[in-house]
Amino acid sequence: MQFLGYKRSDGSVGVRNHVLILPACACASETCRVVASQVEGTKNVIINVGCSDVAANTEMTQRILTGFALNANVYGVVIIGLGCETVGHRQLREKLEKLTDKPIVSFGIQEEGGTVATAALAVRAARAMVAKASLVQRVPCELSDLFVAIECGGSDATSGLASNPAVGEMADRIGEAGGTTMMSETVEFIGAEHILARRGATPEIHDQIIRICEEYEQHLALAGQDCRAGQPTPGNKLGGLSTIEEKSLGCIKKGGTRPVVEVLAEGVRPTKKGALIMDTPGYDISSVTSMIAGGATVVVFTTGRGTPTGHALAPVIKVTGNRETAARMADNMDVDVSGIIDGTMTTRAAGDMLVQEVIEVANGRKTKAEAFGFSDIAVDHICRYI
């Protein structure tokens, strides 16, 4: 099977061809929004970081912003900074220019004399960039060129019984074809980490999976928290998930069964293809943010109770195994695999259907979150006040 994608000079393949209007800090986010609203073919992101932070958080912010710019769904980048942020727009631009040959320009709001003057310059630059981006044509690509992030949120009992196993089947099909899938949310491995670790391609990767779970629990313990005492959210509990072990046993099913070939820090780009794990928090929006920064170009997102979450740079496909949610939130759900619950659909058939869904979306069909223009961004903070 093939899809039509955008081949980039670094060998990666995009499924979208956006010009990104990228803020260097939170204070530039709204100016970026104004610019993107004036230029068709652009996407902006809203961030809450980039200034007044400790070194570890600054590094995380830079990892995410750099990853967004390098994502294969992005043709070029217009950076806008304020002028007094921790890492200025020129610094970010110069760093990116060493990493990619994508067109990149940058502006500073304080330097240019405010939002109106900056927006005028950025709009002109963005329009020129979009005109060049429009000349790039989709070409036939293989499934091995796909990079799919796998996520869950608003889970209930049907997640572990239907939608997550179906996505696991999809992940195995993509892996068999040489493609890449990535699963995250370390806290949602806890209680089932010994099972997930068996998928490690080497003893070292097995131990890494165990270690990231141990380190996450230690991190929470330093803040006086115990995830095993009640991590599931109120919605999870209403949906039938009362313990972290119940949630984790269902959560890991969406990763499939193939060997895990690499465990990555949050927001880091992989060096291998295949089944990957990224060490992120258990917050779905920050996990998706980090996986897209890591290079994922499509997101497959399972939900039992329903969620409208989307992302500016990568299409997010919503999958539910709850028939009531599929009907009640039809405006948000893309795929209904609830037939697994009532016996009218096999997990394998659902997996095949999801592969076809990913191909259609990769070919350009918009997901429901894309059609709404949804963009949910959350940059994780490594260091927090306690």
**What's residue 235's pLDDT?**
63
Both tokens assigned to 78: 């217009």
Q: Let me know the angle formed at the C-alpha of 329 by 172 and 162, rounded to the nearest 5 degrees.
A: 30
Both tokens assigned to 124: 């002109």
**What's residue 224's pLDDT?**
80
pTM, 2 dp: 0.95
Distance in angstroms (rounded) separating the CA atoms of residues 344 and 322 = 14
Partnered with residue 298 across adjacent β-strands are 148
pLDDT above 70 for 127: yes
User: Among the residues of the chain, which ranges form H helices?
Assistant: 29-38, 55-70, 89-99, 109-112, 115-133, 157-158, 164-176, 193-197, 203-222, 234-238, 244-251, 284-293, 323-328, 339-342, 347-362, 368-372
Model confidence band, residue 386 (pLDDT cutoffs 50, 70, 90):
very low
Percent of the chain with pLDDT over 70: 95
Domain ranges for the chain:
18-133, 141-372
CATH superfamily of the domain spanning 18-133 = Sugar-phosphate isomerase, RpiB/LacA/LacB (3.40.1400.10)
CB atoms within 10 A of CB 54: 12
- When mean pLDDT is compared across 72-81, 144-153, 245-254, the lowest value belongs to 245-254
**What's residue 140's pLDDT?**
98
Amino acid at 348: R
Model confidence band, residue 157 (pLDDT cutoffs 50, 70, 90):
confident
Q: How do 147-152 and 18-23 pair as beta strands?
A: unpaired
Model confidence band, residue 307 (pLDDT cutoffs 50, 70, 90):
very high
Q: Could you report the per-residue pLDDT of 170-227, keeping only the tens digit for each?
A: 999 999 999 999 999 998 898 899 999 999 999 999 999 999 999 988 887 887 877 7
